[in-house]
Structure 1
Amino acid sequence: MQNKSLSGPAHSTINRRQILMGAAAFGLSAGYSVRVAAQTYPSQNILLVVPFTPGGSTDILARLLGQRLEGALKYPVIVESRPGAGGSVGVGSVARAAADGHTLVMGHIGTFAVNPALYPKLPYDPVKSFEPVSGIANVHNMLVVHPDVPAKTLQELIEYAKQNPGKLNYASGGIGSAAHIAMVALADRAGITMTHVPYRGTAPAVTDLLGGRVQLTFTGAPNLLQHVEAGTMRALAVSGSSRLKGAPNVPTVAESGFPGFEASQWYGILVPAGTPKAIVDRLNTEIRTAMAAPEIAERLSLEGAEVWTSTPAEFRDHIAKEMARWGDLVKRTGIKPE
C-alpha cells in the first residue's frame, strides 16, 4: 500500500489553519489575561518613586497623592526617594521595573523635558520607556533672595547683577533642575551673569540660602512660602502667568518687565512601557478623582501650586512639547552636566 504524503497542499492548508487557530487562541488568551490583570489590579503594595531627595516639591506632591490613592486602591502606596544624576537614577530604575502598574514614577519637567538634552546617555528614553498616566500639578517657581541682598524688586536685582557681574550666587537642586533652568531662562532674557551653585536636592539648597551661603534661588514656591512669611527670605517674583493665592503681593516675572515669561514646573505620573492600557486607565481615573477633591486644590493653591490633570494622550503631547522647548534652551545656552 502506498503511503500518502503529508507534505502536499492539503497538509499545508491544515498547517495554516492550525497556525491561524492557534494564533487566535493565543490572542484571546492574552487579551483575557490582560483583562484579568486589570480586574485584579492592584494585587500588592504600590511603589511611587520620587527621583529626588526628600523635602522638595516632588516629594510633597507624591506623598499627598499617595495618601489619596491608598484609599482608592486599597493597598499601601510607598513613596521612595531615589536621587542621583538630576533624577535620572530614579527614573531609570522605574523604566526597568515590571510593567504591571505596581511601580510608578513622579515625572517632572527636569527628568522628562530637560535631561534628554542635558545627558547624552540616559538610562531611559523619556518617550519609549514609559506610558504617561496623568499630569498631577503645576508648581510656580518663586524668585527669592536672602535679606542681605539690596534688592526689593526684580528690576532692582537685575540692576544689581549688572553692576556686580558674577557676584551673585544662586542655588538650585542640581544641574538641569527646574530651579537651574528657570534661572538660566531669566538670566538669558535679562542679560545678566550669576554663579550657579548646584546642590543634591532642593532642601539643602534652601538651607544654604537661609544661612546666607548663597544669595538667591528660583525654585518651587511650596519650598519657600513659609520662609517668605517668616521674613527669612524676600520674594521678588513668581514664574507663572498669574500671581499666587498664597502670596498675592508678589508680582509675576511677566509683570516685572518680561512679558510672556513663564517657567513653572509640572509633575505627573508615568508607568513602565507595556503596562496594560486597562491598568493605565484605572490609574488615570483614580488619580484624576483624587486630585479633583476641593481640599486638594485649596491646599495646593495656598502652597503655590495648582491641580493639573490630563488624559494619557494629553500628557504624552505635553511632554513632547516641553522636550522641544527646554531642549532648545539647554543647547542654546550651553548648559553641561557635571
Structure 2
Amino acid sequence: MLNRRQFVTATGVVTLGWPVIASSAQPIEAAKVLVGFPAGGTTDAVSRRVAEKLQSGGYAKVALVDNKAGAGGRIVVEELKRSPADGSTMLLTPTGIITLYPHIYSKLAYRIEDVTPVSTGCRVVFGFGVGPAVPESVKNLKDYLAWAKAHPNGASYGSPGAGTPPHFLGALLAKESGVELSHVPYRGSAPGIQDLLGGQVAAMTSPIGDYLPYLRSGKLRLLATSGTARSKFTPDVQTYAEQGFKNLTMSEWYAFFLPAGASPDVVQRASAAIRAAVTSPDVIEAFAQLGFEAGASTPAELAKIVKDDNTSWGPIVKKVGFTPEN
C-alpha cells in the first residue's frame, strides 16, 4: 500500500496551460503562509522561500510565515478553516495531515472538504537516522535492529509527531522486524534532531533534509531512506526495500491549501503564484539543499493526490493498529 504514495516524480506533475497572474490584478495587502511546525525545521524553511516569492512576484505586498506548532500539525489546519477564503491565508503542510489524520482521530476538528487544494510544492522521502547513542559499529538497519534487541531500554526512535508518516515508518519497521522500538513523538523535526544529536534519543525517522547538514559533518548517520530508489541526495544510503523491508516505501508531498469556499479565481491565482515560486531556479536549488524535490501541480491534480492518499492510508493504519491513545 505504501507504494501508492509514490504518486509521480516532482517534474511529472508540472503541467502545461497554467493560468498566469494577470498584470492588472491587485496584490493582496498582506498574505500569510500557515505552517504547523516550529521555526527552524525544513517545512518552515520551504515556506519562507515561497513566501519571499509570493511577495516579490506580486501576489502580495507583504507575505509572512505564521508558525502554529502543536498536535502534530492539526492546530494549523483548524486555523486555516477559520481564515477568510480570499487568498490572504494559505497553508503549507505535508499531505498526510489532511489525508492520514481522518483515519486515526475520531474527533478531528476538520475534514478534507474544509480545505481547497492549490498546488503541490515539493516532495520528500524519509530517512532513518541514528546519533551518538548508537555505537559506530551500527551501519545499517540489520545492525540497528540487532543492537536494539540487545538494548531494549535504549531502543527508541523519534518522529515529528505521533500519527505522522515518519512515525508510521518506525512503527512498521518494528512490526515487520519483530523488534520492539519505543516511539518518542516531538513537536516537529527540529527538536527531535537536537535530541538525536545530544544522544537523548537513539534514532529518528524524519524527512532526509533534516539530516543532511549533520551527515556531512559526521555527527549523524543515515541507515535507510524510504524511496523506491536511493535518494539523489544520499546515493550511498540503501533504501528500506534494499534491506529487506519492501513494504516500507514511502514519500510525501508538501502542498498548499486555501480554506474551503475559495472562489475559482482566487484558487487559480494562488496556484499560479505557487507554481511561479517553486519552479524558480533559485527555489529549486534551495529546496535541494533541504532534501526536497520541487514540483508544482494544478489544483485538480492535487485534489486527486489527496483522494488517492486518503484511500491508501486506511489499510496501513489498520495494520499498525495505531490510535492517539497509544
TM-score normalised according to structure 1 size = 0.83
Instruction: Report the alpha carbon displacement of residue 326 of structure 1 after superposing the two structures with TM.
Output: 2.3
Deviation per CA, 1:181-201, whole angstroms, max 9, x where unpaired?
Answer: 221233333333200011222
Q: Distance in 1 between matches of 2:276 and 2:90?
A: 17
- What is the identity percentage for the equivalent residue pairs of Structure 1 and Structure 2? 35
- Bigger CA drift: 250-259 or 262-271? 250-259
Higher relative contact order (CA 8 A, sep 6+): 2
Instruction: Report the alpha carbon displacement of residue 294 of structure 1 after superposing the two structures with TM.
Output: 2.5
What amino acid sits opposite 1:115 in the alignment?
A: Y
Greater C-alpha Rg? 1
Question: In the alignment, is residue 324 of structure 1 matched against residue 311 of structure 2?
Answer: yes
Contact 2:51 2:65 in 1 (8 A): yes
Instruction: Report the alpha carbon displacement of residue 261 of structure 1 after superposing the two structures with TM.
Output: 3.4
Question: In the alignment, is residue 91 of structure 1 matched against residue 39 of structure 2?
Answer: no
Q: Distance in 1 between matches of 2:275 and 2:183?
A: 37
Distance 1:241-1:317 versus aligned 2 partners, 3 A rule:
same
Find the partner of 1:78 among 61, 64, 67: 64
Question: In the alignment, is residue 282 of structure 1 matched against residue 269 of structure 2?
Answer: yes
Contact 1:245 1:302 in 2 (8 A): no
Find the partner of 1:216 among 191, 194, 203: 203
Q: Distance in 1 between matches of 2:133 and 2:79?
A: 42
What amino acid sits opposite 2:209 in the alignment?
A: P
Q: Paired residue for 1:311?
A: 298
For 1:196-275, what aligned pairs fall within 5 Å after superposition? 196-259=183-246, 261-275=248-262
Q: Paired residue for 2:54?
A: 69
Question: In the alignment, is residue 294 of structure 1 matched against residue 281 of structure 2?
Answer: yes
SS of 2:61 mapped into structure 1: coil
Q: Paired residue for 2:97?
A: 111
Q: Distance in 1 between matches of 2:32 and 2:198?
A: 35
Q: Paired residue for 1:136?
A: 121
Gaps spanning 5+ residues in structure 1: where?
A: 1-37
What is the Cα-based RMSD across aligned positions, in Å? 2.1
SS of 1:76 mapped into structure 2: strand
Q: Distance in 2 between matches of 1:328 and 1:57?
A: 29
Contact 1:171 1:217 in 2 (8 A): yes
Q: Would you say how many aligned residue pairs link Structure 1 and Structure 2?
A: 301
What amino acid sits opposite 1:80 in the alignment?
A: D
Instruction: Report the alpha carbon displacement of residue 95 of structure 1 after superposing the two structures with TM.
Output: 0.9
Q: Paired residue for 1:44?
A: 29
Deviation per CA, 1:218-251, whole angstroms, max 9, x where unpaired?
Answer: 1012211111111111111111123233322112
Deviation per CA, 1:237-277, whole angstroms, max 9, x where unpaired?
Answer: 11112323332211222222233632223210000111110
Gaps spanning 5+ residues in structure 2: where?
A: 1-22
Contact 1:116 1:327 in 2 (8 A): no
TM-score normalised according to structure 2 size = 0.86
What amino acid sits opposite 2:41 in the alignment?
A: G
Contact 1:135 1:308 in 2 (8 A): yes
Question: In the alignment, is residue 192 of structure 1 matched against residue 179 of structure 2?
Answer: yes
